[in-house]
Structure 1
Amino acid sequence: MKKFVKTVAIVLSLTMTLTALAACSNSKENDSSSSSSANNSSTVSSNSTVEEDKVHTLKILGPDPGNQYIKFSEREEYKVWGLLQDMLKENNLELELEAVPNDQYEVVIQTRMASTSLPDIANLTPIDDASILTLGKNGTIQELSELIQKYSNGNIDRMFGEVYDTAYPLITTAEGKIYWLTDLHKGSTYGGKEIPVGLGMQIRQDWLDKVNAKMPTTLAEFTDVLRTFREQDVNGNGKQDEIILVDAQYFNNGLAQIFGLGNGYVALDVINGKIVSPWYQDNIKEYFTYLNGLVNEGLIDSATLGSWDIQNQRLADNLVASWNAYDSATYLNGYVTSDSSANYVPVFTLTDAVEGSEPWKEVETSQLVWQRYCITKACTDVEGAIKFFDMIYSDEYMTILHWGVEGETYEVRDGVNYSINIGTNEDKANARKTNGSPLWGDLLPRVQLGSAYKTYDEWEEVLKGENRSDVQIQAMAKAVDYEYWYPLMLDNFLAMPTDEETESLNKILTGIQTYSDEMCMKITLGTASLDDFDTYLGELKELGLDELIAIQQARYDRFVAASK
């Protein structure tokens, strides 16, 4: 297997240049909609164009996309929504959509799946995979491989087996069963090179300019410039309160990777093809010592640890010198509502955290499989449900979902799609111009396929047209060939667990996660001493850390074998 595994990520939505990613329910980019489920319940009607053709009516339950500006409740005002209705009509489909606000969806879907009030198709992502598999085995959701074989027109197999060629190994059980279909994302390429999207520390370029400092390249330079920001009161409020935001309870925070540490309780070392845990890796004590030093200096505000609300407030108040985010992100500056000149740019990597160590990079790889869409036992028209998924996994749907309306949100030049830059989500909402992803993504599946640019120059031209800075473009280009990286979404490299593995994961995961988060916070704050590190490690072993590493290694090895 190549060092750079050409799979995935996430999306994310996940969202990177192409990501949604947004994809990520913890993303600070999107704010949850406050609209109620009742207001978002709707029927998308379609009438058969051929009288004898059956119209398939399906009830679908999922989360409201929750975009602050591009609102599902205003979908009728967007031309792309009309294109979706046309597709449904052509496929003799009628959808009754129930969109639940994001912040309520986890409770709603768990309650509904335990009741008799089931939709035909549901997004079960908030329910863990092991529990979904249990729902499959007890018949609450239907097994899909036989239904696909019997009713599909071939679109599902083409997308999951050819276009996204690592997708099937990620959703097929050891027994050959499939209980869900997913969102799919495949990024752009230039000159045949797949373009991943890196994450890492971002720094205020306008503050660097203000104190006449260069972009730091080492951890020592980075720390010194953070101190300089405070000493010179760079935000001009008369206080030494400039800080760095770090999610110290987790390892996927940008700083841990500078010390070479994995980005999760366990992570994938792509150089050696090994599952590793940062708790066992070199430099972990040096990492915690560094974090504790930042807290003691006031460079980390302890009130921000574990609190999105306080972090967002510090951003809004113009206090944040640096934080972890996508290198490609265009939304970061908007969080600083008190300073319109804010300009965050990627640091990319910082060397010399520990002498002789390599900085690693967290990367959202270019092929992503995420979200879980299932057909429940309530669905009596399984032929119609498969017809729906065949429509979803078609090139036509992918185009309107990912690109939108030709001439309005994208244009085609020499057979390559190019986005038309309309501006921010707020600008798109005001113009009522968007692709389908922010309007109904995750209520219905996302299928995203990037462009194949012939040269780097073509790709660079697109990025500049999307208002990305030179520093961002350089960081994004470096990520393409950077050797030392951890995948953002480990699940995109793990085969489905066996029954025995699922049973073990159910027993050990929660305990490991809870204890790891707790000790990361305590060591960072100094309420737990590194002198007792062996005790903490012993507790993690007792909770099953070694077993977790072994299970995930076995799943990774099966994924590699199935992907050849």
Structure 2
Amino acid sequence: MGKGRKLSFVLASGMLVFTATACSSTTTAPKEKTEQKENAESKGPKVSDKPVEMTIHLHYNDGQVIFDDNWSTFKKASEVTNVSLKGVAPKSSTKSEEAFNLMIASGKIPDLVFEKKENLNKYGKEGAFIPLEDLIKEHAPNIQSYLDKMPEIMKVSKAADGHLYYLPFIADGEAAEGWFIRQDWLDKLGLEVPQTVDEYYTVLKAFKEKDPNGNGKADEVPLFTRINQRIFDLASLWGGYGDFYLKDNKVVYGPMEKDFGAAMENLAKWYEEGLIDPEIFTRGATSRDVLFGNNTGGSTHDWFASTVTYNDISKKHTPDFNLIPMAPPENSKGERVEPTIRSPFNNYTGVAVGHSVKDPVAAIKYLDYFFTEEGRRLMNYGVEGDTYTLENGEPKFTKEVLSSPDVPGALRAKGAQIMFAYQQDFEYEKQWMAPLALKGVEEYVKNDYFLKEVPALNFTEEEEKIKNDIGLQIMTYRDEMIQKWMMGAEPVDFSKFTKRLKEMGVDQLIKVHEDAYKRYTEG
């Protein structure tokens, strides 16, 4: 028997046992135990009179975040709920997807599992995780309240079979990233903040040729990004987008649109003229540190909160350093479009309950705590008296937290602001966000610059197969061609490119998304 079939058999068998016993415990448990559960519910977030330990697999960002039994936030949650968590994800693993797949292949599913939506729904349908909707209705009033107030959560989170297999991490706030430019360089060259893509080109050309850093060398890097995927952020300057988005309320695949071809032609031209970082495909996540650190970076597209901090960092070596956020330059159609957005309904990650959990009621009641006001505050701000204090009923970070060079990192070190199952509170970010960054965020939100994203759709098993098989091949080909075009290895031939995409099955891929979106709008 092959490994895949064996796994399905194990999970299916486990699910049969679970269905016959654990799920029915909510209705057929002895009267005494039922009364104990009701009494426990009446006391609030306390889950059990006796201490309960549950296991959790939480491993994401390729090992940058792995559940730590010593996190103070979860220790506090244990004091309140009487449930403690024990992390079982391998700390030595640097590949989160690999760690998850090994856990699934072992057949030993922990009580709680944090992972991407597509994997939780896929293996939930195979029996690895239990449906949660009935448990929520009976035992999780705070989660149910969220579902009632935000029905979109259920709409985008449930699997194609109609079951809810996980509770999502719900992001808060809208603006995530934006455009930035060196105001000190503009001032030195007598230039204004560019308002259109053509004006942006003129400014970047001046950055390249007129020595704005004043060192007598042609070492300026006018435009850069930190991560390869942000090539698509640059493509938005010409209305080109690298993935699916909504156009006139219809799902379209960006690389098949003519604007994508125009964007690639212009990016290749800008790269050839030295306006774009020559190491854009290799420099990686340290780009801001390097290029702002040596006073050669002129403009970028990145996160508001963290990018603005380079004003304080860089002033130590470049006193006139002045990086400001700017509105997205108008594209050729006169549109200002920001390709990124933080949407509460694009629930791509969350926490599922394993099929072999001993007490599913205790598990859902524990998760329910994080949807209370107290539990939400704990996950957003940490432990009162340690990372924040209450002032007029509102949490305020301590000076120690706010003086940290990396506030989110300082909180994550204690288990707060990690991705789990709760609703984020954007107010946490406002507290440590520089006024300049907050101003940029408010401008983007006020003007609604955001590209209309496709919501987190639910796919059938057959659609998932098409999406994974054809989609991955197309994504690989797309990325290879972008790099070849920009670096001049091949001229941009959009007709040849789209013809190849059709040969690879892009029409099937598009139909899969169209069908899923139709179900979403009708559901």
TM range (shorter): 0.7 to 0.9
Alignment of 1:112-261 (within 5 A): 112-125=103-116, 129=118, 131-150=119-138, 152-162=139-149, 164-187=150-173, 196-197=174-175, 199-243=177-221, 244-246=223-225, 250=229, 253-261=232-240
Whole-angstrom CA distance in 2 between matches of 1:181 and 1:51: 18
- 2:370 is the counterpart of 1:392: yes
- Letter of the 1:276 partner, please give it: V
Cα shift at 1:158:
1.6
CA 52–290 in structure 1, closer or farther in 2 if over 3 Å, else same = closer
- Letter of the 2:171 partner, please give it: H
Whole-angstrom CA distance in 1 between matches of 2:431 and 2:82: 42
8 Å CA contact 1:253, 1:324 repeated in 2: no
Whole-angstrom CA distance in 2 between matches of 1:350 and 1:443: 33
- Letter of the 1:142 partner, please give it: I
User: What is the match of residue 263 of structure 2?
Assistant: 287
- 2:338 is the counterpart of 1:347: no
Structure 2 gaps, min length 5: 1-44
Structure 1 gaps, min length 5: 1-48, 188-195, 453-461
User: What is the match of residue 41 of structure 1?
Assistant: none
Whole-angstrom CA distance in 2 between matches of 1:320 and 1:261: 24
Cα shift at 1:66:
9.6
- 2:253 is the counterpart of 1:277: yes
- 2:316 is the counterpart of 1:326: no
Whole-angstrom CA distance in 2 between matches of 1:58 and 1:494: 29
Cα shift at 1:74:
11
8 Å CA contact 1:59, 1:95 repeated in 2: yes
User: What is the match of residue 509 of structure 1?
Assistant: 471
8 Å CA contact 1:57, 1:384 repeated in 2: no
User: What is the match of residue 94 of structure 1?
Assistant: 84
8 Å CA contact 1:317, 1:338 repeated in 2: no
- The alignment yields a C-alpha RMSD, in angstroms, of 3.8
8 Å CA contact 2:143, 2:371 repeated in 1: yes
Which of 1 and 2 has greater Rg? Answer: 2
Cα shift at 1:372:
2.9
Alignment of 1:525-536 (within 5 A): 525-530=487-492, 532-536=493-497
User: What is the match of residue 497 of structure 1?
Assistant: 459
Whole-angstrom CA distance in 2 between matches of 1:140 and 1:50: 27
- 2:361 is the counterpart of 1:383: yes
Alignment of 1:298-337 (within 5 A): 298-308=274-284, 311=287, 313-329=290-306, 330-333=308-311
User: What is the match of residue 467 of structure 1?
Assistant: 434
Whole-angstrom CA distance in 2 between matches of 1:324 and 1:238: 26
- SS of the residue 1:139 aligns to: coil
Cα shift at 1:55:
2.5
Deviations 1:114-139 (A, max 9, x none): 114442212123xx71x443422332
8 Å CA contact 1:59, 1:121 repeated in 2: yes
Whole-angstrom CA distance in 1 between matches of 2:180 and 2:93: 28
- Letter of the 1:202 partner, please give it: F
Give the TM-score normalised by the residue count of structure 2: 0.78
Whole-angstrom CA distance in 2 between matches of 1:110 and 1:513: 22
Whole-angstrom CA distance in 2 between matches of 1:427 and 1:248: 19
Whole-angstrom CA distance in 1 between matches of 2:389 and 2:202: 44
- In the alignment, which of 47, 50, 60 is matched to residue 54 of structure 1? 50
User: What is the match of residue 42 of structure 1?
Assistant: none
CA 399–214 in structure 1, closer or farther in 2 if over 3 Å, else same = same
User: What is the match of residue 516 of structure 2?
Assistant: 555
Deviations 1:373-395 (A, max 9, x none): 22223422222211221112222
User: What is the match of residue 507 of structure 2?
Assistant: 546
Whole-angstrom CA distance in 2 between matches of 1:66 and 1:551: 29
8 Å CA contact 1:140, 1:376 repeated in 2: yes
Deviations 1:400-448 (A, max 9, x none): 21134567636555x766667753543769xxx9656863444643432
Aligned length: 472
- SS of the residue 2:490 aligns to: coil
- 2:435 is the counterpart of 1:479: no
Deviations 1:212-265 (A, max 9, x none): 322111222222222322333233443212111147964764322221223x32
- SS of the residue 2:476 aligns to: helix
CA 247–487 in structure 1, closer or farther in 2 if over 3 Å, else same = farther
CA 253–284 in structure 1, closer or farther in 2 if over 3 Å, else same = closer
- Letter of the 1:96 partner, please give it: K
8 Å CA contact 1:252, 1:362 repeated in 2: no
8 Å CA contact 2:168, 2:420 repeated in 1: no
CA 480–438 in structure 1, closer or farther in 2 if over 3 Å, else same = farther
**More moved, 439-448 vs 289-298:** 439-448
Deviations 1:67-88 (A, max 9, x none): 99x9987967xxxx2x653432
Cα shift at 1:515:
0.9
User: What is the match of residue 519 of structure 1?
Assistant: 481
Deviations 1:17-52 (A, max 9, x none): xxxxxxxxxxxxxxxxxxxxxxxxxxxxxxxx9998
Whole-angstrom CA distance in 2 between matches of 1:205 and 1:71: 40
CA 209–484 in structure 1, closer or farther in 2 if over 3 Å, else same = closer
8 Å CA contact 1:61, 1:98 repeated in 2: yes
Higher relative contact order (CA 8 A, sep 6+): 1
CA 506–73 in structure 1, closer or farther in 2 if over 3 Å, else same = closer
Deviations 1:192-230 (A, max 9, x none): xxxx21533211223223333221112222222223223
- What fraction of aligned residue pairs are identical, expressed as a percent? 23
- Letter of the 2:172 partner, please give it: K
- Letter of the 1:324 partner, please give it: H
8 Å CA contact 1:411, 1:420 repeated in 2: no
- Letter of the 2:243 partner, please give it: Y
8 Å CA contact 1:392, 1:398 repeated in 2: yes
User: What is the match of residue 25 of structure 1?
Assistant: none
- Letter of the 1:478 partner, please give it: E
8 Å CA contact 2:169, 2:419 repeated in 1: no
